[in-house]
């Protein structure tokens, strides 16, 4: 099948120790307050790096934090100059100077290989939303919960029982920094929930978005469209809220329509800009590909636009930034790309 090839142009490069390992974790790449962040670990330190919005370089800001739970990975989320950290049995808020503002202890999952908490600020910055182990009055496990806390004090504002249990969670914000929050819940390898979280006053609402096997890719455009990838890689769909605020699937791409046979969508397709999606594909049943082919798709229809060609080998997992650029990694190096006309 004849198709267009598009050249990827390198526009910036930076060193980021541990980045290849980091982006395999739920908190390695995050969208917060309309900005993109990479979060890495160096010994007992957590390092948060904000991607430069001007595209002239890779990073615009870097902050280092002493981990509240050394030796434990946890989930770390940038929080407007501070840091939120969800450990196995406590949620901690750190201030800009690294001081502990407050800590909320909670029961730990019995199997820390399954239950993994996550946290984020709301778009307003007034509340923290977090997932954690839920205990009944007798202390027994009562299902995973999502809580809303006052961002300044850690005081509980609202609580909602989640439809998932002992799951690994990941929060992302929409690119336009509006609600709802995107919450992905991985229950093992074959059961993945996509949830929407909204806080209105003291009411915390968690609703399902789609089926049990098509998690968010974490990427959205400034119009609020988001992408979901079927766990088997057999489809990529664009979702958007209707006038009633209900998200619906509006377009679908399938790998069998691409010019390379025997492929599946993999990793993190995302919006390069509002009208263009980058979608990596790899051979079927290769769940941890060492290489992938990157295609450009139309941001509305998800129809094929072209195949990207790079000047040198790149990582299989692109991170789309929504400003016309995307990132790839190699060992401790981060590369920023754009597509030439």
Residues linked to residue 186 through DSSP beta bridges, in sequence order: 168, 192
Does 287 or 192 have the greater pLDDT score?
Answer: 192
Q: How confident is the model at residue 165 (pLDDT cuts 50, 70, 90)?
A: confident
DSSP reduced 3-state for 21: helix
Beta strand 5-15 with 304-309: parallel, antiparallel or unpaired? parallel
Sheet holding 181-186, edge to edge: 168-172, 181-186, 192-200, 203-208
311 — pLDDT class (breaks 50, 70, 90): very high
Label residue 113 by pLDDT band (50, 70, 90): low
pLDDT value for 115: 65
Q: What is the mean pLDDT of residues 183-197?
A: 87
pLDDT tier at 17, thresholds 50, 70, 90: very high
Output the CA–CA distances (angstroms, integers) from residue 206 to 131, 158, 159, 195, 199, in the order listed.
Answer: 12, 12, 10, 6, 9
Residue 139, pLDDT > 80, answer no
CB 191 within 8 Å of CB 213: yes
pLDDT of amino acid 37: 97
Summarize the confidence of residues 122-140 as an average pLDDT.
86
Task: Please report which confidence band the pLDDT of residue 310 belongs to, taking 50, 70 and 90 as the band edges.
Answer: very high
DSSP state for residue 139 in the 8-state scheme: S
Q: Does residue 116 surpass a pLDDT of 90?
A: no
- Rounded to a whole number of angstroms, the distance between the first and last alpha carbons of the chain is 21
Question: Measured at the alpha carbon of residue 190, what is the angle toward residues 188 and 195, in degrees to the nearest 5?
Answer: 80
Separation CA 228–CA 226 (nearest Å): 7
Res 72: pLDDT: 87
Per-residue model confidence as pLDDT tens digits over 36-59: 999 999 989 999 999 999 888 999
How sure is the predictor about 16, in pLDDT bands with cuts at 50, 70 and 90? very high
pLDDT digits (tens, 9 = 90+) for 200-219: 999 999 999 987 778 999 99
- pLDDT confidence band for 137 (50 / 70 / 90): low
Q: What percent of the chain has pLDDT over 70?
A: 96
Query: pLDDT digit string (tens) for 227-244?
Result: 999 988 999 999 998 887
User: Is the predicted pLDDT of residue 292 greater than 90, yes or no?
Assistant: yes
């Amino acid at each position: 099948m004849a198709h267009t090839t598009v050249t990827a142009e390198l526009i910036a490069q930076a060193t980021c120790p541990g980045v290849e390992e980091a982006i395999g974790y739920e908190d390695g790449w995050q969208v917060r307050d309309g900005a993109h962040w990479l979060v890495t670990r160096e010994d007992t330190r957590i390092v948060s790096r904000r991607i430069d919005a001007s595209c002239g370089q890779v990073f615009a800001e870097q902050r280092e934090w002493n981990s509240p739970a050394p030796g434990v990975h946890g989930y770390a989320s940038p929080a407007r100059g501070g840091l939120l950290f969800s450990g196995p049995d406590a949620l901690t808020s750190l201030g800009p100077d690294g001081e502990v503002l407050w800590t909320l202890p909670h029961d730990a999952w019995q199997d820390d290989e399954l239950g993994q908490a996550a946290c984020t600020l709301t778009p307003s910055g007034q509340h923290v939303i977090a997932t954690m182990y839920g205990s009944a009055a007798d202390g027994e496990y009562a299902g995973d919960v999502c809580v809303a806390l006052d961002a300044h004090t850690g005081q509980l504002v609202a609580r909602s029982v989640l439809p998932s249990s002992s799951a690994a969670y990941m929060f992302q914000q929409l690119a336009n920094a509006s609600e709802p929050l995107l919450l992905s819940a991985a229950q093992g390898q074959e059961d993945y929930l996509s949830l929407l979280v909204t806080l209105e006053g003291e009411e915390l609402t968690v609703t399902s978005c789609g089926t049990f096997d098509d998690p968010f890719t974490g990427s959205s455009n400034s119009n609020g469209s988001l992408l979901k990838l079927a766990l088997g890689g057999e489809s990529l769909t664009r979702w958007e809220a209707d006038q009633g605020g209900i998200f619906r699937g509006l377009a679908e791409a399938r790998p069998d329509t691409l010019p390379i046979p025997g492929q599946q969508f993999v990793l993190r397709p995302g919006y390069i800009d509002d009208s263009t999606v980058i979608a990596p594909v790899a051979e079927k049943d290769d769940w941890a590909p060492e290489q992938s082919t990157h295609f450009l798709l139309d941001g509305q229809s998800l129809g094929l636009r072209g195949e990207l060609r790079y000047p040198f080998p790149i990582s299989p997992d692109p991170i789309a930034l929504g400003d016309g650029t995307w990132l790839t990694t190699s060992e401790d190096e981060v590369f920023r790309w754009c597509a030439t006309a």
